[in-house]
Structure 1
Amino acid sequence: MADRPLTLMAVHAHPDDEATGTGGVLARCAAEGIRTVLVTCTDGGCGDGPGGVKPGDPGHDPAAVAAMRRKELEASCEVLGISHLELLGYADSGMAGWPANEAPGSFWSTPVEEAAARLADLMHRYQPDVVVTYDENGFYGHPDHIQANRITTAALPLTGMTPKVYWTTAPRSMMQEFGRVMREFGADWDEPEPSGDAAERSGDAAEPAGNAGPPDIGLPDEEITTWVDTTAYAGQKFDALLAHASQSENIFFLRMGKERFAKLMGVETFVRVHDTTGAALPENDLFAGLR
């Protein structure tokens, strides 16, 4: 431990995911002297193009979108103080059921073991003490998020390492407030389902999640293991989201302004799925038991 810094590795699917789900902890860890490694798995080519042109519409150029989003991702990393950005470079698979799911080179169509081996190489290089990714349903059923979970889960045994492992989540209480705020700003919002196993409904490995119905979003508050106060870094998180300007139509949080954003998004929550430290739960620090 003495010859290297404590290290957080976040494995995300697309440019902008790093800010949405973990911008606060990435900024906080960077401020605390922890090395932060972001692995972005896809190029984001299924995002909006200039002027908000949508995938599949005339004028949408996935390669140009990917190039634009890489610059935005680099700007976000600078805002958050991320130490190292690693790009796996797979093609964005789009939403569940899109033709892009099965396109050659898409992240979803890539064999898990192939992508996991590449991620394991990065884990060997950086020796993370904490690894963060999505849950088995990719939080809301996005194929690339699910694939990020799968390759992270498959990569860890290849390394022989035993970092603390977390899945991002959101408390149902916060999702209810988030829905209220969204409706206040005129956005459509369906309340999360009150029960059920979203991961089970995500479908088997051969099918993109979402085919079996809408997923649950978030968890009951009592099932969340880790609550990290990132209020002091909410401004950085907001600015990191703002850096992804091409996707601003899809980033609802930007509509509420920094002050409102900080009140609603000042805590980031996780489920701890692997630990060898014995740190007591619930915890308020991803590195509890390590420092």
Structure 2
Amino acid sequence: MPRTLVAVFAHPDDDAYGIAGTVALHADDPDFRFVLVLATDGGAGDIREGFAATRETLGAIRRGEDEAAWRALGRVPDRHEWLGYEDGAVSGVPPEELADRVAAILAEERPDVVATFGPDGIFGHPDHIAIGAATDTAFDRLAARADRGFRRLCHGALPESVFRRWNAQRASMGLFVFDPTRTYHMRGVPDEEIGITVDCRPVADRVVAGLGEHRSQHHVMSDDPADLERWKRLVSREWWVVARPERPAGAPMLTDMFEALD
């Protein structure tokens, strides 16, 4: 049976960390359809010293980097939609408008699985939180009357235990640590909320190849972009909260976004 995944994120490179491992694992499946929706082009992102970009050109550069990243991974989206909102201003878009834009794509695709940000936005980023909430609204609206598709809604997340371990490692290495009470800082969710843990180690090299194409953002994506082995370790797992349908207490941990749907 065809299996369609629609991933809805805010910025180029959200996808490179958020869903790339799952896509790489399914890359050779002829029945797998991958649709990517990005709310912005990332044009308000940081420009590192010496990088050949201006505030006017960064958005176009990051669009090109995102497309190159999926080519480097070896599986480009079957459909790649850019909603065209201003980077940093997604939370200011009327929620109903944002939900309508996402719903229009979901209604055409009728995906089995939809992936987006949860209410924590992983980094507390207002753009992440806004596009995640709009996607939840769109999913619920369409799932209520769908005759097929809309079988699972997933929120990208970091288990609290992993967050604490990573922060402790960062402190031991003399790196800054994340403060989960601050906007734009990573934060975790309770471990018991995680419903899917994907082992991405077999495709970690492909995920890192994709990350490598986001050259304009290397300075914010990694403490040491040249340390490919550390990048591989960081992308060795993907964690997801199963937001819809409600996950029963004590349900077994899934290992794939499509597991137990057939």
Q: Partner of 1:30: helix, strand, or coil?
A: coil
Partner of 2:11: 14
Partner of 2:117: 134
CA contact (8 A) 1:29 1:36 kept: no
Pairwise CA distance, 1:132: 0.7
The 5 Å alignment of 1:80-159 reads 80=73, 81=75, 82-93=77-88, 106-159=89-142
The whole-number CA distance in structure 1 between the counterparts of 2:44 and 2:130 is 16
The answer to whether the aligner puts 1:246 opposite 2:216 as a matched pair is yes
CA contact (8 A) 1:253 1:261 kept: no
Q: Partner of 2:197: helix, strand, or coil?
A: strand
Normalising by structure 1, report the TM-score.
0.77
The whole-number CA distance in structure 2 between the counterparts of 1:90 and 1:276 is 31
The answer to whether the aligner puts 1:67 opposite 2:60 as a matched pair is yes
AA at the equivalent of 2:14:
D
AA at the equivalent of 1:65:
L
Q: Which has the higher helix share?
A: 1
Pairwise CA distance, 1:77: 2.1
Partner of 1:102: none
Pairwise CA distance, 1:240: 1.3
Of the candidates 197, 207, 214, which is equivalent to residue 227 of structure 1? 197
Count of residue correspondences: 253
Pairwise CA distance, 1:49: 3.1
Distance 1:108 1:254, change over 3 A: same
Distance 1:220 1:158, change over 3 A: closer
Structure 2 residue ranges without an equivalent (≥5): none
Q: Partner of 1:63: helix, strand, or coil?
A: coil
The whole-number CA distance in structure 1 between the counterparts of 2:95 and 2:178 is 32
CA contact (8 A) 1:24 1:237 kept: yes
Pairwise CA distance, 1:25: 1.1
CA contact (8 A) 1:9 1:130 kept: yes
The answer to whether the aligner puts 1:287 opposite 2:258 as a matched pair is yes
Cα RMSD after superposing both structures = 2.8
The answer to whether the aligner puts 1:164 opposite 2:152 as a matched pair is yes
AA at the equivalent of 1:27:
A
Deviates more, 1:67-76 or 1:107-116: 107-116
The whole-number CA distance in structure 2 between the counterparts of 1:67 and 1:215 is 26
The whole-number CA distance in structure 2 between the counterparts of 1:192 and 1:30 is 34
Residue deviations 1:157-198 (CA, integer Å, cap 9, x gap): 3323433001111122322332244345542114657xxxxx
Q: Partner of 2:93: helix, strand, or coil?
A: coil
Pairwise CA distance, 1:269: 0.5
AA at the equivalent of 1:126:
E
Partner of 2:70: 77
AA at the equivalent of 1:143:
P
